[in-house]
């Protein structure tokens, strides 16, 4: 989501380190400031590539969900407040404080600045839509990672035939899981991409004050503004889809208990009961059937 160019990164002077530590007293410790500067290799900031490379180190010290290798890209974009492609030491320190113990107002302002890509003091429909679609893409990628077997062998060149066959079997299983999950993710992307934006925009643009009120009161926006939750929207989606028994779930859809013949799911079919369960697991309060009905009427 960067603008393709990065600001110049300079050395971070010791006196600046002390000034920042004083200004953040009671929020981020002097030791934590030192750790940030040292992890940034003494530089005033880091670009996205470097940030993604050091995400694990940062997560080890700042053990909060917002700073996690899995959602490093989302956190970078949240902390890059002026959209210059660099998270500086001050940006990171302030972001850590807000994610860890910031007020609702501070969290709302942090997310507002991240969304206001052109810096005009408003969030446009296209800015929110672009952000949500980007988060859905990241969430889908993360869901696929979570669905992969943990014991899959990554090494190559093994001469052991059993290892080769095991890897081929795991690859086939992953392909099958992706095939089963994809229709659900596609449908959820369609529903979320329209519902969240449509429910926000009664006007062409949203001001900082309007966003602040909405971000504190709207449970769906609270999820979207959280770097961990938004990157893990589809957490457990594989398990939810794969655990669904077609006959049992089909029965639940008919109040009289009678299931029509041919309830077996075809490849690419989406079971609406499972779809809603996956949606419920995202933490978002959206009724899939109602959202799809509204989309069809447009």
- Mention every residue, 6+ apart, whose C-beta is less than 8 A from residue 198: 294
Instruction: Report how far apart, in Å, the C-alpha atoms of 38 and of each of 9, 27, 45, 171, 217 are.
Output: 15, 19, 11, 40, 38
Return left, alpha or beta for 4; rule: phi > 0 is left, psi -120 to 50 is alpha, else beta. Answer: left
pLDDT of residue 165: 59
Q: How confident is the model at residue 280 (pLDDT cuts 50, 70, 90)?
A: very high
CB atoms within 10 A of CB 257: 7
pLDDT tens figures, 188-247: 888 888 888 877 776 678 999 999 998 888 888 888 889 999 999 998 888 888 777 554
Tokens of 70: 């899995």
182 versus 268: the higher-pLDDT residue is: 182
Reported pTM: 0.74
Rounded mean pLDDT, 99-128: 90
Mean pLDDT across 54-64: 91
CA 170 – CA 162 distance, rounded (Å) = 12
Distances (CA, A) of 298 to 62, 164, 203: 46, 51, 18
- For 168-201, b/e burial (b = at least 16 CB within 10 A) is eeeeeebeebeebbebbbebbbebbbbbbbeebe
Cβ contact 67:58 at 8 Å:
yes
């Amino acid at each position: 989501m960067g603008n393709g160019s990065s600001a110049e990164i300079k050395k971070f002077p010791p006196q600046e380190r002390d000034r920042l530590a004083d200004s953040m007293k009671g929020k981020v410790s002097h030791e934590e400031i030192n750790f940030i500067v040292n992890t940034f290799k003494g530089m005033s900031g880091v670009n996205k590539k470097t940030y993604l490379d050091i995400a694990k180190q940062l997560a080890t010290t700042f053990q909060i969900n917002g700073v996690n290798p899995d959602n490093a890209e989302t956190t970078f974009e949240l902390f890059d407040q002026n959209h210059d492609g660099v998270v500086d030491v001050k940006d990171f320190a302030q972001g850590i404080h807000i994610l860890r113990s910031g007020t609702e107002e501070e969290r709302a302002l942090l997310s507002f600045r991240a969304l206001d890509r052109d810096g005009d003091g408003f969030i446009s429909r296209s800015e929110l839509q672009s952000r949500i679609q980007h988060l859905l893409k990241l969430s889908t990628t993360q869901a696929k990672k979570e669905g992969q077997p943990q014991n899959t062998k990554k090494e190559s060149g093994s001469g052991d035939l059993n290892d080769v066959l095991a890897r081929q079997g795991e690859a086939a299983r992953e392909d099958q899981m992706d095939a089963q999950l994809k229709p659900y993710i596609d449908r959820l992307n369609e529903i979320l991409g329209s519902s969240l934006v449509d429910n926000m925009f009664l006007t062409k643009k949203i001001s900082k004050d309007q966003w602040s009120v909405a971000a504190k009161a709207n449970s769906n926006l609270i999820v979207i503004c959280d770097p961990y939750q938004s990157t893990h929207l589809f957490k457990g989606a594989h398990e939810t889809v794969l655990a669904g028994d077609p006959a049992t779930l089909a029965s639940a859809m008919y109040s009289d208990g009678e299931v029509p013949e041919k309830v077996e799911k075809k490849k690419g079919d989406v079971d609406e009961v499972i779809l809603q369960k996956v949606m419920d697991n995202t933490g978002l309060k959206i009724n899939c059937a109602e959202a799809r009905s509204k989309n069809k009427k447009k």
